[in-house]
Amino acid sequence: MIKKRIAIRKIASILTAAAIIFKTAFLPVLSYAAADFKTDTSVNLKPFSIIHGVYAGTFRNNLSVYNTYADINLMTDEAGTIHIKNEDEFLLFASLCSSDEFSEGRQFALEADLDFTQISFKSVPVFAGNFEGNSHTIKGIFMQISGESNGVFRYNEVSGIIKNLNIGGDLSLDSAPDTKKSGGICGINKGRIENCTFSGSISSLEDVGGICGINETGAVIEACINYSAVNGNKRIGGICGYNNGNIISSLNKGNINTSDRDMAEDDKNFNPENIKEAADIEKIQDGGGIAGYSGGNIILCINEGNVGYRHKGYNVGGIAGRHSGIITECINRGTITGRKDTGGITGQFEPYLNIVYNRDTFDNVEDELDEISRLERSLSENIESTADNSAQHMDNARDIINNIKTSGRSNKTELKNDRDSFRQDLNQKLDLVDSLADTIDSDIENSPMRDSFYPIRDDINDLKSNIDKLKSGEWDNENNNIISRIINLKKLIENINQTADNLSDDTNRLLNEGVDNTLNNVDTLKENIRKLYEEFKGISDLSSAYINKLNDTLDNADKDISADVDRLSSELDSLSKDVKSKKENIRSDKRNIENSIDNIQDSIKNEKENTRSEPDSKKDNNLLLFSDASDDLSSYEGNGMIKCCENTGNIISDYQGGGIAGNIGIDIAADPEYDIDTQGSKSFNITRNAYAVLSLCKNLGNIKVKNDYAGGIVGKAGIGLIKDSQNYGDVASADGSYAGGIAGSSQGSISASWSMGEVDAKSYIGGIAGLGNTLKDNYAMAFIKNTDSEFTGSIAGYIKEDADMSGNIYVNSGIGAVDRITRKKQARGIDYYSFISGENVPENFKHLKVVFETDDILLKTLELDYGNSVDISAYPEVPEKDGYYYMWEYADLSNITQNKRVKAYYLPWKTTIASSDDERPLLLAEGNFLPEARLVINNGINNDSISEKNKTKIATPEGFKLKAAYSLNIENAPTNANYIYHLYVKGADAGYRIGIINTDSKKYTVSLLESSTDGNYILFNAGANAQIAVLKKDYVKPAALIFAFVLIAAGTAAYIIIKKKA
């Protein structure tokens, strides 16, 4: 068919070329300038002409486009929409889309169905506008694709929208080894594809999907349907091969990689024991009903196609083959088959990995070194500041002291000058006093007044003595401060003043009371005494004035000195405080420097210990380097999530199969391009978090795994959280271990999940997990088939030593919670009716099911209450199958206490049976026989042997003789069926016939059967019970034969003679 298509297209191409040559050679060349594609409101429709292969119009940057399509018009309406009405216009449109500028910002509408069955199709290279398909179909597309980005549209740009378009065709792989990124609608989608369908078939080596090959970040595929078969090696999806964008409300009905291209199902080279190693080099990877690989979002999508082939491919899933983004509210209804990591929603669920670069030892050491540097500067600044401040304070104190000294010197000079002036004045008066005293003393030498004058004379001597002291400076001490010296001087002057006052008083009294009037010159004496009084009074006033000045000087000196002393004290206090403060700062800086040095040593020490203590297992296993952060998130909604999904299809895998996911985990070494989000600047102190959350999912399909790890929800969970999920399918690991109602093995956490179904494996069998780690608040009604196996439990077959297990409840069937043992802190076993009377029990637990099936085809489902029975009359009819009969397996359907699955097996009929085991048995029979069918042949009629005597009782047909008679019987075979018999008769030839003996009358009659010979065997048809006669034709006697021969010979001779004469 393909060769025929190619031949037709070659003829069409030749005719097209001839037409172009004809037009070019004979038709006049016409041209006109076509306007831009922008709307011209002066007309309703505007033509865009390709005249003889030259497009004369311009777009955007006036780039001319040359084409092979002549006399073809593209019409645009007033709204600016360009209408495509036939195949030629579409091909013209495709040729003009060699640049994204042509389509950017423009509207295109398909106005009719297109058929390219007899026309060579060309893809649209790049599209950036809005293409409205109006629900029309482009069919008959046949493309042998090669290179990258293949599809009806090769590239759909960010601004591109393709919608309401149906495509039908065959996009097949040519011999190019690098064909990839292929899709029925487009190769690479960066924009939006909406409400489009693809039917037919498509194949590519990598990144192939029914709608697009690659859906980039931010791109959207919505409400699309794929009906085609999709085949490839890596990243193969019904909708998209590689998805980093959004796939929403889309449906796949096509089969994905269901053909055997590399290895037959009964491949003798397949060795289940080497499945792990075989998977590592598997060519077929990442196949999914919706996406081959998805790191983006898949929402509200359904897969109804079958995905995968037995013993082939790993990472095979009903929705995504491999997934690390978000899948929510999706359903798989197809059968999912693979070699390794096979699941109803995703084959391999890769956790979202996040690396946070924290502060490491080098950062800490660098910080401490920076801190030491800062402290060193602070210490230096404190020391310098202390010295500077101390020097300033000392300078200030020195200035104050100098000021005090200057003030003291000034006061001293002033004091000396005042003292000298005072002493000079006093001496003058004292000289006068001495003169007057001497005169008076002479005048009263012989008078009685002399005794009265003696005290005055003594006081004058005291006065003179004090004045002498003042003059000699006996009162002064230069070692004393100015205040003390002023005070001493003041005391001396006060003594002089006091003496002067006394003298004044005594003189006045003498003048008024003691003058002897009898003395000669009494008047002169009185005058001298009066003068003496005046002088004493003058000395008293002079000394009083001087004392007052000394008091003022003393006060001023005290004020000045006190102020300076206060300033000096303040400076000294500031000096003390600064020194003390800086001393503490210096001590603090010193302590902090020591602490930083200690921190550096501790950081280096801790880093050494961490490096030495890192387990070898973590160094060898990349995933163990990541901490499972899934269980710490109460309502996680980010990448690494599967939520609200359902699987109803059966899962068939050689290794690691689950109803929702085959495997949760990732081998980074095997996937070096795996994208890991990072935060912070790179360092050696790394926090590695992994997030894998599977919640609110339900599985109704059966899980059939050849080897290890079978789970109702997940086959093997190396990491992650499974919560609020339900399984109602049967789980079996036929030749391996680790089977669980929720997970075959879980190193992560399983919580608040429900499981009801049969679980079977060689060992490690659990109602929730075959091998568990964290198991909390789970509910199980497990029907464990192999109760004698090692490590079996109603909740878990076995748990890790440090497992966290609590709050689990199971229907007690006599098997303990873990390894046949129940610990009350871990789990509790109760009866069925108590179990279903609990809170929030799903409806599926409140009734049981009996399923009748054959060859994975559901024949009938019965729902019944716990403890009810099923009668044999309820068994359904089984469809017939050529060459086979069916047999129901034995099942006790009385008092049913668990879900039952009853299967009708198709068994090949036994097509040949023999009457004996001899090398050449007497009788063979061909037909459809049960294994217990037995062929019996006896000599005679009704088992009575026939002798020569009673042969006459059989009326043979005319011309036949009876040679033998037999009774035939096929035991355990339908009596109303005909069979082909092979009866051995030595020397059998064409003269032998078989007849059926009728024994209803005394004279047995024989009815001839159609028969033939095969060597010494005579072949005939008869029922399961028959009486047969072996007949031989009764030929003419030899004499008659000789006579007839002579007559014939004579006649022949006569004829020859006559012919010669003539």
CA 506 vs. chain centroid, Å, equals 124
Task: Average the pLDDT over each of 342-351, 442-451, 716-725 and give the range with the smallest value.
Answer: 442-451
Sign of the C-alpha dihedral computed for residues 584, 588, 591 and 597 taken in this order: negative
Q: Read off the pLDDT of each residue in 117-143 and give the average, rounded to a whole number.
A: 95
- Based on the number of CB atoms within 10 Å of its own CB, is 472 exposed (0-12), middle (13-18) or buried (19 or more)? exposed
Please give the Cα distance from 834 to 435 (Å, whole number).
Answer: 145
Q: How confident is the model at residue 559 (pLDDT cuts 50, 70, 90)?
A: confident
Task: Average the pLDDT over each of 75-79, 206-210, 316-320, 1052-1056 and give the range with the smallest value.
Answer: 1052-1056
What does the pLDDT read at residue 1055? 66
CATH 2.40.160 is right for the domain spanning 911-1039: no
- CA dihedral in degrees (47, 48, 53, 57; nearest 10)? 130
Q: Read off the pLDDT of each residue in 542-549 and give the average, rounded to a whole number.
A: 76
Q: How many CB atoms lie within 10 A of CB 1056?
A: 9
Task: Average the pLDDT over each of 101-105, 441-445, 908-912, 1025-1029 and give the range with the smallest value.
Answer: 441-445
φ/ψ of residue 314, rounded to 5: -130, 160
Residue 24 has pLDDT above 60, yes or no: no
What does the pLDDT read at residue 370? 77
Task: Average the pLDDT over each of 535-544, 721-730, 844-853, 981-990 and give the range with the smallest value.
Answer: 535-544
3-state secondary structure of 51: strand
Q: Read off the pLDDT of each residue in 748-764 and give the average, rounded to a whole number.
A: 95
Task: Average the pLDDT over each of 67-71, 246-250, 806-810, 946-950 and give the range with the smallest value.
Answer: 67-71
Instruction: Using the structure block, give the residue that is written with the tokens 């401490």.
Output: 368
% of the chain beyond a pLDDT of 70: 72
Q: Which residue has the higher pLDDT, 883 or 559?
A: 883
Q: Read off the pLDDT of each residue in 625-641 and give the average, rounded to a whole number.
A: 70
Please give the Cα distance from 472 to 150 (Å, whole number).
Answer: 130
Q: Which residue has the higher pLDDT, 216 or 482?
A: 216
What does the pLDDT read at residue 174? 55
Q: Which residue has the higher pLDDT, 132 or 1047?
A: 132
What does the pLDDT read at residue 470? 66
- Residue 660 corresponds to which tokens in the numbers above? 């929702």
What does the pLDDT read at residue 999? 77
Residue 20 has pLDDT above 50, yes or no: no
- Tell which residue, 213, 194, 216, 215, has the closest CA to residue 205: 213
Q: Read off the pLDDT of each residue in 234-252 and give the average, rounded to a whole number.
A: 97
Q: Which residue has the higher pLDDT, 569 or 607?
A: 569
The CA-atom distances, in angstroms, between 425 and each of 429, 542, 996 are: 6, 8, 193
Residue 660 has pLDDT above 90, yes or no: yes
Q: How many CB atoms lie within 10 A of CB 109?
A: 19
- Please give the DSSP secondary-structure letter assigned to residue 243: E
Q: Do the beta carbons of residue 772 and residue 796 sit within 8 Å?
A: yes
Please give the Cα distance from 779 to 807 (Å, whole number).
Answer: 9
Task: Average the pLDDT over each of 137-151, 291-305, 434-448, 654-668 and give the range with the smallest value.
Answer: 434-448
What does the pLDDT read at residue 44? 39
Residue 907 has pLDDT above 90, yes or no: yes
pLDDT one-digit tens code per residue, 458-482: 777 777 777 776 666 666 666 666 6
What does the pLDDT read at residue 473? 64
Q: How confident is the model at residue 34 (pLDDT cuts 50, 70, 90)?
A: very low
Please give the Cα distance from 251 to 139 (Å, whole number).
Answer: 20
Rg (CA), the chain: 63
Residue 946 has pLDDT above 80, yes or no: no
Residue 579 has pLDDT above 60, yes or no: yes
Please give the Cα distance from 279 to 707 (Å, whole number).
Answer: 13
Residue 567 has pLDDT above 50, yes or no: yes
Q: Read off the pLDDT of each residue in 982-1000 and give the average, rounded to a whole number.
A: 90
% of the chain beyond a pLDDT of 90: 48
What does the pLDDT read at residue 63? 32
- Residue 845 corresponds to which tokens in the numbers above? 């637990």
Q: How confident is the model at residue 61 (pLDDT cuts 50, 70, 90)?
A: very low
Q: Where are the beta strands (DSSP E) in 238-370?
A: 240-243, 246-248, 251-252, 285-288, 291-294, 297-299, 302-303, 314-317, 320-323, 326-328, 331-332, 336-343, 346-349, 352-358
What does the pLDDT read at residue 270? 43
What does the pLDDT read at residue 524? 72
Q: How confident is the model at residue 352 (pLDDT cuts 50, 70, 90)?
A: confident
Mean pLDDT rounded to a whole number for the chain: 80
What is the H or E stretch that residue 183 is in? strand 180-183
Q: Which residue has the higher pLDDT, 512 or 848?
A: 848
What does the pLDDT read at residue 560? 72
Q: Which residue has the higher pLDDT, 343 or 53?
A: 343
pLDDT one-digit tens code per residue, 820-847: 999 999 999 999 999 999 999 999 999 9
pLDDT one-digit tens code per residue, 858-877: 899 999 999 999 999 999 99
Q: Read off the pLDDT of each residue in 148-169 and give the average, rounded to a whole number.
A: 95
Please give the Cα distance from 173 to 1039 (Å, whole number).
Answer: 80
What does the pLDDT read at residue 914? 95
φ/ψ of residue 655, rounded to 5: -160, 130
- Tell which residue, 255, 259, 223, has the closest CA to residue 238: 255
Please give the Cα distance from 1027 to 433 (Å, whole number).
Answer: 201
Range among 8-22, 228-242, 525-539 with highest mean pLDDT value: 228-242
- Based on the number of CB atoms within 10 Å of its own CB, is 892 exposed (0-12), middle (13-18) or buried (19 or more)? exposed
Q: How confident is the model at residue 33 (pLDDT cuts 50, 70, 90)?
A: very low
3-state secondary structure of 920: coil
Q: Which residues of 131-162 are buried (b: 16+ CB within 10 A; e: fewer)?
A: bbbeebbbbbbbbebbebbbbbbbbbbebbbb
- CA dihedral in degrees (732, 819, 786, 339; nearest 10)? 20
Q: Read off the pLDDT of each residue in 13-32 and give the average, rounded to a whole number.
A: 37
Q: How many CB atoms lie within 10 A of CB 701?
A: 26
Residue 211 has pLDDT above 70, yes or no: yes
Q: Which residue has the higher pLDDT, 660 or 266?
A: 660
Please give the Cα distance from 836 to 827 (Å, whole number).
Answer: 16
pLDDT one-digit tens code per residue, 71-129: 677 888 888 899 999 999 999 999 999 999 999 999 999 999 999 999 999 999 999 99
3-state secondary structure of 873: helix
- Strand partners for 722: 694, 750
Task: Average the pLDDT over each of 73-82, 532-541, 909-918, 999-1008 and give the range with the smallest value.
Answer: 532-541
